[in-house]
Structure 1
Amino acid sequence: MPAALPSRLRLQGEIHHVALRGHGGRPLFRANRDREALERIVGELLAEFTARAHAYCWMTNHLHLVLEVAPGQADGFQCDLIARYSLQRNTGAAGAGPLFEPAERALRVNADAYLLQLIRYVHLNPVRAGLVRDAADYPWSGHRTYLGGGGPPWLSTDLAFRLLGGDLLRAAAAYRVFVAPVSTRVNRETLVTSLSYPGRY
């Protein structure tokens, strides 16, 4: 179990798990350009809300984002994300209906205890879904960035690396071990303050 956040690492906002699913299980992305558009929109919203993202994963019919945002702003961020991406995705699509399932509230996470576990949970989604055997082979998550492989400029790794300890190289190595295949057995019920909502994933 990782240690609680040291005082020098106390968050400026709250950590939330944003998880959104396509309406009726429909794909959220037609092509990679849609994923790239989503990344651009997320970057714009992070700047507007003065927020940070600590992990993300764009799956076929759902998405995950680990968001640090000021108290009371998570739902506004999520609503704006849904509206902007839906507008972009449905532009020119004949008869386009709702893109997302009705959104539940972004779930606030106990960051002191579970930030690292939540990052791992999000980045291992493609492995659990059977899309890849190694999370590093999936191009649409923050996992590669944590391994030093680049990624969107808005993804923040510094907090997780400080929690993992040591200099950058040692923290990256510790992250690699932390997200080893055995860690796919994650019990999400321990990650959030409340998981009583049906249909979460």
Structure 2
Amino acid sequence: MARGPRIWIKDGVYHIIVRGNRRMKLFGDRRDFRTYLAILRKTKNVYSYDLLAYCLMDNHVHLLIQYKEDSPSAVMKMLNGEYARYFNLRRQEIGHVFQGRFYSKLVTGSFYLLDACRYIHQNPMKANISFTLADYPWSSYNAYLTSNNPNNISTNLVLQQFPHSQRTHYEIFMHENL
């Protein structure tokens, strides 16, 4: 029996996870990471959504996205499809790059929003591939601390959860549970 379409809520925030097929690496070098981010930026020109956070790991990706007019499935179809074509062409391979359908979880409430953002940004340290949150180059963490935001991360929804000294309180919050 075929699965039905995913149900999505307009303006809903979703934690999206995609994994490499058979746990294979999705990113072999900087070029792969940069290409994925370039495709991600391209999808923002086509679809209406806000990217709240991301973390690209070797064999999986975390995204925190608030969808406006377009469904998560439309965005992920373009993102995963274009990256899979790039990946297979570069490696002269064929077949699936991603493991099944992407995982998506609706983020409800401000506590869950902050927790999801912290989980995404702490991923490299918890996996012991980065010494600090700020050192990992394939995460949106630094966009929350500085005005340098090359991937147009929408930080307002998360930062407004902190009433004063938003960036400072966000940094303190991110270092909890490490």
Band of TM-score, shorter chain: 0.7 to 0.9
Structure 1 unaligned segments of length 5 or more: list them: 1-10, 185-201
1:70 maps to which residue?
68
After superposition, the CA RMSD in angstroms is 1.9
1:37 maps to which residue?
35
The one-character-per-residue Cα deviations of 1:71-90 (angstroms, maximum 9, x if unpaired) are 66012211221101111121
1:19 maps to which residue?
17
8 Å Cα contact 1:78-1:106 kept in structure 2: no
Q: Residues 95, 37 of structure 1: CA spacing in aligned structure 2 closer, same or farther, 3 A cutoff? A: closer
Q: Residues 95, 42 of structure 1: CA spacing in aligned structure 2 closer, same or farther, 3 A cutoff? A: closer
2:95 maps to which residue?
97
8 Å Cα contact 1:75-1:105 kept in structure 2: no
Q: Residues 111, 76 of structure 1: CA spacing in aligned structure 2 closer, same or farther, 3 A cutoff? A: farther
For residues 10 and 169 of structure 2, what CA distance do their matches in structure 1 show?
Answer: 25
The 3-state SS of whatever aligns with 2:83 is helix
For residues 72 and 49 of structure 1, what CA distance do their matches in structure 2 show?
Answer: 6
Task: Please show how residues 44-59 of structure 1 align to structure 2 within 5 Å.
Answer: 44-59=42-57
1:174 maps to which residue?
169
**Identity rate, percent:** 26
Query: 1:137 Cα deviation (Å)?
Result: 1.3
Output the TM-score relative to the length of structure 2.
0.87
Q: Residues 111, 36 of structure 1: CA spacing in aligned structure 2 closer, same or farther, 3 A cutoff? A: farther
Query: 1:151 Cα deviation (Å)?
Result: 3.9
Query: 1:36 Cα deviation (Å)?
Result: 0.9
The one-character-per-residue Cα deviations of 1:101-152 (angstroms, maximum 9, x if unpaired) are 0024422111444111111110000011011231111111011111217243
The 3-state SS of whatever aligns with 2:91 is coil
Q: Residues 109, 66 of structure 1: CA spacing in aligned structure 2 closer, same or farther, 3 A cutoff? A: same
8 Å Cα contact 2:47-2:70 kept in structure 1: no
After TM superposition, where is structure 1 displaced by more than 6 Å over at least 4 residues in a row? Answer: none
> Which segment drifts farther, 103-112 or 125-134?
103-112
8 Å Cα contact 1:50-1:69 kept in structure 2: yes
For residues 127 and 103 of structure 1, what CA distance do their matches in structure 2 show?
Answer: 26
> Which segment drifts farther, 27-36 or 90-99?
90-99
2:155 maps to which residue?
157
The 3-state SS of whatever aligns with 1:64 is strand
Structure 2 unaligned segments of length 5 or more: list them: 1-8
The one-letter amino acid paired with 2:177 is S
The 3-state SS of whatever aligns with 1:63 is strand
Query: 1:24 Cα deviation (Å)?
Result: 0.8
8 Å Cα contact 1:116-1:160 kept in structure 2: yes
Output the TM-score relative to the length of structure 1.
0.78
